[in-house]
Amino acid sequence: MAGIVSYGVYIPIYRLSGESLNQVWGGATKGEKAIANVDEDSLTMGVEAARDCLKGIEKTSVDAVYFASTTPPYKEKQSASIMAAALDLREDIITADFTDSLRSGTIALKMALDAVKAGSAKKVLVVASDCRIPPPNSDFEPLLGDGAAAFLIGGDGAAVEVEGSYYLTSEFLDVWRLEYDKITRTWEDRFIREEGYVPYFQRAVSNLLKSHNLSPKDFAKAALYAADARTHRDMARRLGLDAKTQVQDPLFGKVGNTGTAFAPMTLVGALEEAKPGDRILLANYGDGADAHVLRVTEEIEKLKDSKSLTRNLESKLMLDNYGKYIKFRELMEFEHTPIIEPRTALPELWRHRKLYYRFHGVKCKKCGRVQVPVPKFCIYCQAEAEFLEEVPLSDKKGTLVTFSMDERAWVADPPNVLAAVALEGGGRFFSQMTDRDVNSLKVGMPMELTFRRIRDALGVHNYFWKCRPARV
Amino acid sequence: MRESIKDKVAIVGMGCTQFGERWDADVEDLIKEASLEALEDARVEIKDIQAGWVGTGRGSQLVATGPTSAIIASSALQTQNIPFTRVENLCASGQEAIRAAAFGVASKCYDLVLAIGVEKLKDTGFGGLGEQYPGKWEPLYGAFGTPPGRFAMAATAYFAKYGLSQEEGKRVLAEISVKSHYYGARNPKSHLKREITVEDAVNAPMIAWPLGLYDCCGVTDGASAAVIVPAEEAKNYRHDYVTIKGFAIATGTGWGKENEGYDFTYSAETEAGARMAYAEAGIKDPRKELDMVELHDCFSIAELFNTESLFLCEHGKFREEFTEKRAYYHDGEMPVNISGGLKSFGHPIGASGGREIYEIYKQIQGKAEEPSRQIKNVQLGLAHNQGGHPGRFVPGIAIIGAP
């Protein structure tokens, strides 16, 4: 039966505390929420979750990438294609963006399952990621967080079989953004709850259970979408689920409502604790609702080690203050600089796309040394380019050779940390360091690579790899 | 190398502007100021110049440099359709102009040429040099670094390799800057004239960790110029001329940052250039034979590792030689940067190479403006002018001396 072969998750390292919101706006918000770094967006977070999902999986086996997000970086230009390159997947695959609905993730899931069942694809990668910006000083602001989840859907060896699904669509308007809106719009929450969320969500779940002759007590865990913690508790009660044992923690006050990624991330949380034979209820909401019966198989044992959600939750840095968040999301007009505007050269990006997106270096067949970026001759033995064999490097771990922290560089989040990283198996990457605690950097510390948005120029989002201190 | 340049060409006149934030001067004013001093020093006139070279670093990337061909020089001096050429090799552009001019004379094509170095940095509206590669590295590659960010990596690496704690390392660097400010305060043409203490330097605001404000040279406007003639004709201009003993430009491979063999604690390019220049000048033991060195201290850490890379001390032994034996002061065994260095002069890119040679030229003539800065009996000096950053250097080395 078709199902989930592997899963992955990503929570950005930064957290914004409720306290820092209270300091600016007043109020009594507790807890914290996850905030994408200044060099992250839904695409880069999605790449992280996908890399986590594809650990130990042969990359050439992926036949399609479905990227679900309401915040794709481009309005015209597919994100899934960039993601496929960053993941170093084959080019003869299908890529698609599923967008505009908070349910895009579970809709993409259905499309993936159908493709696998129909035999048009053996493995489909479904990635859900969102980086939505709430209106400052709104009820939404403490709620929305950033994050991503990924599932590899396949036929054989599924760790989680999807026994059945039920989908409802609705033109109901509750949360939206117009074409040029940066922040979300919404209506009175009581109206949304009573006319939209509660009836559609309940209908989807009850119809699903009816058609499968199941009752709420048949589920070990339920991964449920809800706009906020109170609505979530209320829905669990309405569905007849035991709050203590059956409801997967939706991570309000820790991560926040991650939009398209919310239900998928909650499902990952449930799967990390799941045992073979467990039945899991997944239900999502937005432009209607959908609900799914999932059955955990013996294969889940092979995925047990990852515990990515737990690790991502523990590995965090607190944002110093709200001002930093404002800067990260460009929510104020800042001082104009007299410095020359950077420019992107698309031909340069295209010529070296295997470097910028796939992070391929070369290995010299004469002297065996690994080099990145790709030189015109071997930098060690000056062998001709024909002896330089392409090698993928993005999965390499490394150690910090030396670094500096530049307080005066024109970056949004100084200091700009420059780093030389020795990659395992050879090669040295001179790079910008991200997700760093500036007080704990040391020569020799373990590093890893991460796909990030470098700097926009001429209206182009530039993506490339950076290093970061190894998380966990 | 077919033949050494040793004693083939002579410098008979030099000029150097007041360095500083020259709100009063544009790039042509600076060229004119340095050139007229040099021509007057050689007792010649603009019409006597047969060819010229002008070194300037920033090219068209900053509007402040103005037009970047050699027309900035021919226009400023109103030379009438003689050959004038712009040369550029990053921060070594100044010495490149002198080198090109010297080769012009050595080729026997010209009898009298002018080499100019100039930079107008203070019309940009910001401190520092800005980012240099708006097309390729930045914003695509992301690891864009300001010069302090790049040189600070050498400091981190040096401290780690030689077991200096952050405090110890910062202190050694601070003492270098204290020395530079001390001599700069005694040099009328320097930009920064205030003496500082080790505490000032150690506690200064951070620019690029671990480098603080006083570890970095100033951002400055300035120009320098030299009149160069065949050595055999030099005595027709003055008795106390100097001759070129050796020249080297070691243009690196540019891949040190990515090369696992490079550890960021030295300049492989300066070592290669020093070997070339010493061979050309016939120098076996530089520390014994050289009377003074002006080296490229855009940052305190650059003075530290360049002192080692010029073979003036063993790798890792700088602290011992400097703070314990006090070798690099004006009355020490091997005076280094007694002008006050880039630290107190600032670094108008193209101007620094000629400005270093100007100091050696004046010291050989016994004309350091402040007697307290005069080194006794200078016969032979080395000027080191370095472009690039750790892992990607292009250093120029010139050895000049009394004939």
ipTM of the shown complex: 0.93
Least CA distance to B263: which residue of chain A?
A401
| Cα distance between residue A344 and residue B134, in whole Å | 8
Average confidence (pLDDT) over A236-260: 97
C-beta of residue B265 within 8 angstroms of C-beta of residue B158:
yes
Sequence letter at residue A381:
C
Shortest alpha-carbon distance between residue A414 and chain B (Å): 10
| Of residues A340, A415, A430, nearest to B130 (C-beta) | A340
Are B149 and A409 in contact (CB < 8 Å)? Answer: yes
Interface of A with B in 397-456 (CB under 8 A): 401-410, 415-416, 418, 420, 422, 426-432, 438, 443-444, 452, 454-456
In the prediction, which pLDDT does B145 show?
80
Give start and end residues of each alpha helix (H) in A297-389.
Answer: 308-314, 322-328, 346-351, 353-356
CATH of A3-328, one of 3.40.50.620, 3.40.50.1110, 3.40.47.10, 3.40.50.720: 3.40.47.10
In the prediction, which pLDDT does B139 show?
63
Shortest alpha-carbon distance between residue A387 and chain B (Å): 18
Are B260 and A404 in contact (CB < 8 Å)? Answer: no
| Of residues A343, A375, A415, nearest to B209 (C-beta) | A415
Residues of B in contact with A456 (CB under 8 A): 139
A435: left (phi over 0), alpha (psi -120 to 50) or beta: left
Residues of B in contact with A428 (CB under 8 A): 257-260
In the prediction, which pLDDT does B61 show?
44
- pLDDT at position B81 over 60: yes
Residues of B in contact with A449 (CB under 8 A): none
Test the B interface: residue of A430, A452, A463 with most B CBs within 10 Å:
A430
Q: For chain A, which residues make up each domain, given as ranges?
A: 3-328, 346-469
Are B152 and A405 in contact (CB < 8 Å)? Answer: yes
In the prediction, which pLDDT does B259 show?
96
Average confidence (pLDDT) over B240-247: 97
C-beta of residue A94 within 8 angstroms of C-beta of residue A63:
yes
- The verdict on B201 touching A (C-beta cutoff 8 Å) is no
The 10 Å CB-count burial string (b at 16+, else e) for B103-118 is bbbbeeebebbbbbbb
| Of residues A375, A408, A420, nearest to B153 (C-beta) | A420
In the prediction, which pLDDT does B373 show?
93
Test the B interface: residue of A40, A399, A402 with most B CBs within 10 Å:
A402
Residues of B in contact with A408 (CB under 8 A): 127-128, 146, 148, 207-208
In the prediction, which pLDDT does A361 show?
97
Are B260 and A452 in contact (CB < 8 Å)? Answer: no
Interface of A with B in 324-353 (CB under 8 A): 337-345, 348-349
Test the A interface: residue of B132, B151, B258, B389 with most A CBs within 10 Å:
B258
What's the CA angle centered on B195, arms B190 and B198, to 5 degrees?
130
- pLDDT at position B74 over 60: yes
In the prediction, which pLDDT does A408 show?
86
Q: Grade residue B39 by pLDDT with cuts at 50, 70 and 90.
A: very high
Residues of A in contact with B141 (CB under 8 A): 454, 464
DSSP A188: -
Give start and end residues of each alpha helix (H) in A96-171.
Answer: 104-118
Total CB pairs under 8 A between chain A and B: 155
Strands across the sheet containing A3-10 = A94-99, A64-69, A123-130, A147-154, A3-10, A160-169, A288-296, A279-285, A221-224
Q: What three-state secondary structure class fits B73?
A: helix
Residues of A in contact with B211 (CB under 8 A): 404
Question: What pairs with residue B91 in β-bridges?
Answer: B89
Q: How far, in Å, are A113, A154, A291, A297, B368 from residue A158 at the CA level?
A: 11, 6, 19, 7, 83
Average confidence (pLDDT) over B250-256: 95
Burial class (CB in 10 A: 0-12, 13-18, 19+), B18: middle
Interface of A with B in 265-324 (CB under 8 A): none
Average confidence (pLDDT) over A116-129: 97
Pairing of strands A94-99, A64-69: parallel
In the prediction, which pLDDT does B67 show?
54
Give the active site residues of B.
91, 347
What size, in residues, is chain A? 472
Shortest alpha-carbon distance between residue A49 and chain B (Å): 22
Least CA distance to B63: which residue of chain A?
A340
| Cα distance between residue A140 and residue A303, in whole Å | 35
C-beta of residue B240 within 8 angstroms of C-beta of residue B379:
no
B62: left (phi over 0), alpha (psi -120 to 50) or beta: beta
Stretch (H or E) spanning A11:
none
Q: Give the residue with greater pLDDT, A457 vs A365.
A: A365
Residues of B in contact with A337 (CB under 8 A): 126
Residues of A in contact with B255 (CB under 8 A): 371, 375, 379
Are A408 and B207 in contact (CB < 8 Å)? Answer: yes
C-beta of residue A245 within 8 angstroms of C-beta of residue A132:
no
| Residues 6 or more apart whose Cβ sits within 8 Å of residue B46 | B35, B39, B77, B78, B79
Percent of chain A with pLDDT over 70: 100
Of the candidates A312, A300, A354, A342, the one whose C-alpha atom is nearest the C-alpha of residue A465 is A354
Neighbours of A12 (CB within 10 A): 23
In the prediction, which pLDDT does B117 show?
97
Least CA distance to A411: which residue of chain B?
B144
Average confidence (pLDDT) over A130-154: 97
Average confidence (pLDDT) over A341-358: 88
Least CA distance to B139: which residue of chain A?
A455
In the prediction, which pLDDT does B60 show?
40
Mean residue pLDDT of chain A comes to 96
Shortest alpha-carbon distance between residue B210 and chain A (Å): 7
In the prediction, which pLDDT does B146 show?
86
Burial class (CB in 10 A: 0-12, 13-18, 19+), B165: exposed
In the prediction, which pLDDT does B64 show?
45
In the prediction, which pLDDT does B124 show?
79
Helix, strand, coil percentages (3-state) for chain B, rounded to 5, are 40, 20, 40
Q: How far, in Å, are B216, B265, B303 from residue B308 at the CA level?
A: 19, 10, 9
- pLDDT at position B138 over 60: no
Of the candidates B143, B133, B90, the one whose C-alpha atom is nearest the C-alpha of residue A342 is B133
Test the A interface: residue of B63, B137, B141, B262 with most A CBs within 10 Å:
B141
Average confidence (pLDDT) over B271-280: 97
Could you identify the residue written with the tokens 């060896």?
A: A157
Report pLDDT digits (tens) over B173-220: 999 999 999 999 999 999 999 999 999 999 999 999 999 999 999 999
- pLDDT at position A180 over 70: yes
Residues of B in contact with A416 (CB under 8 A): 144-146, 149
| Cα distance between residue B271 and residue B308, in whole Å | 9
Across B127-175, the runs of DSSP E, i.e. the strands, are none
Across B50-91, the runs of DSSP E, i.e. the strands, are 51-55, 84-87
Are B260 and A369 in contact (CB < 8 Å)? Answer: yes
Stretch (H or E) spanning B198:
helix B198-202
Least CA distance to A377: which residue of chain B?
B253
Percent of chain A with pLDDT over 90: 92
Residues of A in contact with B150 (CB under 8 A): 404, 418
Across A140-240, the runs of DSSP E, i.e. the strands, are 147-154, 160-169, 175-176, 185-186, 221-224
Are A348 and B136 in contact (CB < 8 Å)? Answer: yes
Interface of B with A in 122-161 (CB under 8 A): 124-128, 130-131, 134-136, 138-146, 148-157, 160
Residues of B in contact with A438 (CB under 8 A): 209
Count of helix runs (H) and strand runs (E) in chain A: 12, 22
Q: What is the full DSSP assignment across B248-312? A: EE----S-GGG-TT--SSS-HHHHHHHHHHHHHHT-S-HHHH-SEEE---SBHHHHHHHHHHTTS
CATH placement of domain B9-125+220-228:
3.40.47.10
- pLDDT at position B135 over 90: no
- pLDDT at position B68 over 90: no
Interface of A with B in 22-61 (CB under 8 A): none
Q: How far, in Å, are A64, A110, B383 from residue A61 at the CA level?
A: 9, 20, 61
Least CA distance to B260: which residue of chain A?
A428
